[in-house]
Amino acid sequence: MRIAAFDLGSNSFHLLVVDAHPDGTFVPLIKEKDMLRLGDAVGREGRIPDALADRAVATVERFRRLAIGAGTEEIHARATSALREAENGGEVVDRMAAEAGVKVRVISGREEARLIFEAVRAAVVIDPGPALCLDLGGGSLEIMVGDTSGMKLAQSVKLGVARLSAELVTGDPFSADDVRRVEKRVTSALAPLADDVAHLHPGMAVGSSGTFCDLARMVAARRTGSVPRSINQFTFTRDELLPLHRELLALRSSERAALAGLEPKRADIIPTGSTLLLTAMELFGFDRMTVSEWALREGIILDAIPRHEATDWSADPRAIRASSVVQLARRCNWDEGHGRQTARLALDLFDQTVGLHGLGDADRELLEHAGLLHDIGEHVSTESHHKHSAYLIQHGRLRGFTPVEVDFVAALARAHRGGGPKPPHEPFASLDREDRDRVTRLAALLRVADGLDRGRCGNVDGIEVVVDGAQARLLVTADTDIAIELWGARRKRELFERSFKRRLDVVPG
């Protein structure tokens, strides 16, 4: 499935198009970025100027064209701090829907932190855990503590690098007063969180998003003489950051733009980022940071994948039926092992006795569904559970089935025990004569299959049916004692013998 994530941040808008897989993995296909610096404008004016709003809408429209052109099946667009706080943020979001055809969801700082943390823990080995994770955007700083088991703390503070630069920095190069103002603001916001973080005993620190990644690239260039293609999982120390920080403060913006590893458009705000990071290192007590190249846009993708059902990944148009059956079974707290074993054995019996029952693929599918659902009535009561199973199937809102097919599966499940299908029984009575005959033949197979898992241990490995004149032999193979399974099948063979006019011998294979 092809999915697109739009990360509409305060510094940059990002597009990520991926081929996603049901196991939660994905392959990036398209990455695109436009540095709009909405946070600068919101910090200065409290709103997004008309010209910048026009550009934001045009960028979203361009992203949509790229995504659709690549065959994207769904788009997830999330907006963060700048659009969250701008006086006219709602108007701009409405324009994105009306003019660009993209519905944008403006998320809270906590939701932003959750999505980022999902991406970080999928990209970086958290060892030793938990990790203190810092994501520095244009409008806010997300602070998270967590490990592979989940997030334990999440805070969003208004310390975005563009926000701080717009509000506090006046010189180029930075003056001592600029640095003091940034340090004071960061300390004021983060000091109250230091104790909460310390109580969780983080074993490492992880930084994500553009500013921290650029600082890591510049450190790497100083360390090795070249900028690596990837800096994911790259770790640098405070001692490596300090001389770079001093250089950034001493240079003008135009001079910083030429530094190896720095994106030129970030040259004016990068000293603010390094000042914030060094202050955070001191407050939270860490002297090294590991970098995650994955952040919000990857988190959006990771959040979207598990929201899909199994049928969404299948090219089989009938997969919706199988998915619906399993969902109903799970809502009823089924014995999954027994249900799947019974269904498997029922299909084996069906395939090996086609010459006796003469039924087709459609009947085979309904037999499988009935095998999976035959015991869900135990969710209501063990006593007369076959009747409860039929009721639950009829009222279980199975998707992709006609009303007659629902009654057919319900009648078949009811017939797996007791005296077998009888004309007065509902829903068997509601079926026409031909369908009642098909239910009876399938029930003969289902009852034997259910008996072959009498112990509910899945002991039976395989079966073989040999038909010889008026006799049929069912050879049962297993690697363990199956006396109870043989007994169970023999108890339930009467309908088979009556339906197919064959004596059925059940013997070890």
Indicate the helix (H) or strand (E) that contains 471.
strand 471-477
Q: What number is the average pLDDT over the span 332-348?
A: 96
Q: What number is the average pLDDT over the span 297-326?
A: 82
Q: What number is the average pLDDT over the span 487-497?
A: 96
First to last CA, the chain: 45
pLDDT (0 to 100) of residue 23: 80
Quick count: other Cβ atoms within 10 Å of Cβ 184? 12
pLDDT (0 to 100) of residue 315: 65
pLDDT (0 to 100) of residue 310: 65
Please indicate, yes or no, whether residues 2 and 20 belong to a single structural domain of this protein.
Answer: yes
Q: How far apart are CA 160 and CA 162, in angstroms?
A: 6
Q: How many domains does the chain have?
A: 3
Domain membership of residue 301 (yes or no) is no
Q: What number is the average pLDDT over the span 42-64?
A: 95
Domain membership of residue 49 (yes or no) is yes
pLDDT (0 to 100) of residue 320: 78
Q: For residue 311, is pLDDT > 70? A: no
Q: How far apart are CA 398 and CA 312, in angstroms?
A: 16
Q: How far apart are CA 349 and CA 313, in angstroms?
A: 30
Q: What number is the average pLDDT over the span 229-242?
A: 95
Per residue in 474-488, pLDDT (tens digit) is 999 999 999 999 999
In DSSP notation, 81-142 reads: HHHHHSTTHHHHHHHHHHHH---EEEPPHHHHHHHHHHHHHHHS---SSSEEEEEE-SS-EE
Domain membership of residue 305 (yes or no) is no
Please indicate, yes or no, whether residues 439 and 358 belong to a single structural domain of this protein.
Answer: yes
Q: SS3 of 160, please?
A: coil
Per residue in 68-81, pLDDT (tens digit) is 999 999 999 999 99
Domain of residue 403, CATH code: 1.10.3210.10
Please report the beta strands in 262-373, taking only residues with DSSP state E, as ranges in sequence order.
288-292
Per residue in 344-356, pLDDT (tens digit) is 999 999 999 999 9
Share of the chain above pLDDT 70, in %: 98
The amino acid occupying position 106 is V
Prior bond to 424 cis, omega within 30? Answer: no
Please indicate, yes or no, whether residues 103 and 170 belong to a single structural domain of this protein.
Answer: no
Per residue in 415-465, pLDDT (tens digit) is 999 877 888 889 999 999 999 999 999 999 999 999 999 999 999 999 999
Q: For residue 508, is pLDDT > 80? A: yes
Is the CB of residue 321 less than 8 Å from the CB of residue 328?
no
pLDDT (0 to 100) of residue 420: 79
Q: How far apart are CA 243 and CA 273, in angstroms?
A: 14
pLDDT (0 to 100) of residue 398: 87
Domain membership of residue 8 (yes or no) is yes
Domain membership of residue 302 (yes or no) is no
Q: How far apart are CA 450 and CA 416, in angstroms?
A: 7
Please indicate, yes or no, whether residues 19 and 88 belong to a single structural domain of this protein.
Answer: yes
pLDDT (0 to 100) of residue 21: 87
Q: For residue 309, is pLDDT > 80? A: no
Domain membership of residue 306 (yes or no) is no
Please indicate, yes or no, whether residues 172 and 292 belong to a single structural domain of this protein.
Answer: yes
Starting at the edge strand found earlier in the chain, the sheet holding 503-508 runs 462-468, 471-477, 503-508
Q: For residue 317, is pLDDT > 70? A: no
- CA 159 to chain CA centroid, Å, is 30
Specify the DSSP class assigned to residue 175: P
Q: SS3 of 383, please?
A: coil
Of 107, 128, 147, which marks where a domain is finished? 107
Please indicate, yes or no, whether residues 250 and 321 belong to a single structural domain of this protein.
Answer: no
Q: For residue 22, is pLDDT > 90? A: no
Decide: pTM greater than 0.85.
Answer: no
Cβ contacts of 8 within 8 Å, gap of 6 or more: 56, 60, 77, 78, 79, 80, 83, 104
Quick count: other Cβ atoms within 10 Å of Cβ 429? 13
- The average confidence (pLDDT) of the chain is 94
Domain that holds residue 75: 1-107
Domain membership of residue 372 (yes or no) is yes
Q: For residue 313, is pLDDT > 70? A: no
Band of pLDDT at residue 175, cut at 50, 70 and 90? very high
Please indicate, yes or no, whether residues 325 and 431 belong to a single structural domain of this protein.
Answer: yes
Please indicate, yes or no, whether residues 102 and 118 belong to a single structural domain of this protein.
Answer: no
Q: SS3 of 355, please?
A: helix
Band of pLDDT at residue 321, cut at 50, 70 and 90? confident
Per residue in 355-414, pLDDT (tens digit) is 999 999 999 999 999 999 999 999 999 999 999 999 999 999 888 898 899 999 999 999
Q: How far apart are CA 462 and CA 487, in angstroms?
A: 16
Please indicate, yes or no, whether residues 129 and 56 belong to a single structural domain of this protein.
Answer: no
pLDDT (0 to 100) of residue 136: 96
Band of pLDDT at residue 24, cut at 50, 70 and 90? confident
Q: What number is the average pLDDT over the span 110-118?
A: 94
Domain of residue 237, CATH code: 3.30.420.150
pLDDT (0 to 100) of residue 475: 96
Please indicate, yes or no, whether residues 41 and 121 belong to a single structural domain of this protein.
Answer: no
Prior bond to 130 cis, omega within 30? Answer: yes
Of 65, 90, 107, which marks where a domain is finished? 107
Top pLDDT among 289 and 397 is at 289
CA distances from 178 to 52, 170, 171, 174 (A): 27, 7, 7, 6
Indicate the helix (H) or strand (E) that contains 77.
strand 74-79
Q: What number is the average pLDDT over the span 202-231?
A: 94
Of 262, 296, 330, which marks where a domain is finished? 296
The candidate with the shortest Cα–Cα distance to 369, out of 335, 324, 331, is: 324
The amino acid occupying position 495 is L
Domain of residue 75, CATH code: 3.30.420.40
Q: What number is the average pLDDT over the span 140-165?
A: 93
Cβ contacts of 22 within 8 Å, gap of 6 or more: 305, 308, 310, 313
Q: How far apart are CA 70 and CA 5, in angstroms?
A: 13
Domain membership of residue 303 (yes or no) is no
Cβ contacts of 67 within 8 Å, gap of 6 or more: 4, 15, 17, 30, 75
Please indicate, yes or no, whether residues 289 and 318 belong to a single structural domain of this protein.
Answer: no
Please indicate, yes or no, whether residues 113 and 187 belong to a single structural domain of this protein.
Answer: yes
